Amino acid sequence: MKNLSIALNAILLVLVIILFVMFNNMKKSIGQDGSSESTGGKNKLLRIAYVNADSINGSYLLMKDFNNEIQEKESQFQEAYNAKAKKLQDEYQAYMQKKQAGNTSQLDDQKAEQDLQAKKNELDGMQQQRDELVKDVQERNFELQKKIQRFIVAYNKKAKFDYILGYENVGGSLLYGNDSLDITKPIVSGLNQQYKDSIQNASTGAKH
């Protein structure tokens, strides 16, 4: 389950987004001194905002539902794997005790070996199921990141920030952010409304 755990940890950090979203304002010429200039030749201050990745991760309903779904699948898979592994171990130990007691024949040995090998192959086959689950998590995680980024781009059509950065409480590259630049709440609110609308639309469509 190591790979799956890594993938799930990636989900918990999915919103460690360093989004350098560049818009029309950033297409204006940059002076040699590094300042951005307007078409009128006057220096223009960059408008910068940030979103708190940890807050979005904990408050975005789609993210929470996704995490819960993956954790449930992981739990079900681990439970099934453990049950099969225990059954194989128990059967092997029981047969070895019978064999050591001299209560088996060569034919019994051959049959037991085939049966135990078949169960082992079944366990090994579950490795592929786990790999498929990890791949699904990674693909859906990527799509979720793109969904968030698309929403922020749409949000910024009105807000018109030059840069929107991703911020983590611990371990991020943005070490400090002024609270006045934090746009996490409207981003979360908009994302959640978008998700609720999609659920409602899907429910309405299903009724028809």
- Predicted confidence (pLDDT) per residue in 151-181, tens digit: 999 999 999 999 999 888 777 777 778 889 9
Q: 3-class DSSP state for residue 48?
A: strand
Residue 47, phi then psi, degrees to nearest 5: -100, 120
Going 122 to 127 to 128 to 133, the CA torsion angle's sign is: positive
pTM over 0.85: no
Q: Is the pLDDT of residue 192 over 80?
A: yes
pLDDT band (50, 70, 90) for residue 48:
very high
Q: Is the pLDDT of residue 87 over 60?
A: yes
- Helix H or strand E encompassing 95: helix 61-100
CB 161 within 8 A of CB 49: yes
Going 26 to 32 to 34 to 40, the CA torsion angle's sign is: negative
Q: Is the pLDDT of residue 34 over 80?
A: no
pLDDT computed for residue 207 by the predictor: 64
Q: Is the pLDDT of residue 89 over 60?
A: yes
pLDDT computed for residue 33 by the predictor: 35
Boundaries of every domain in the chain? 2-207
CB 188 within 8 A of CB 59: yes
pLDDT computed for residue 102 by the predictor: 85
Q: How many percent of the chain have pLDDT more than 70? A: 77
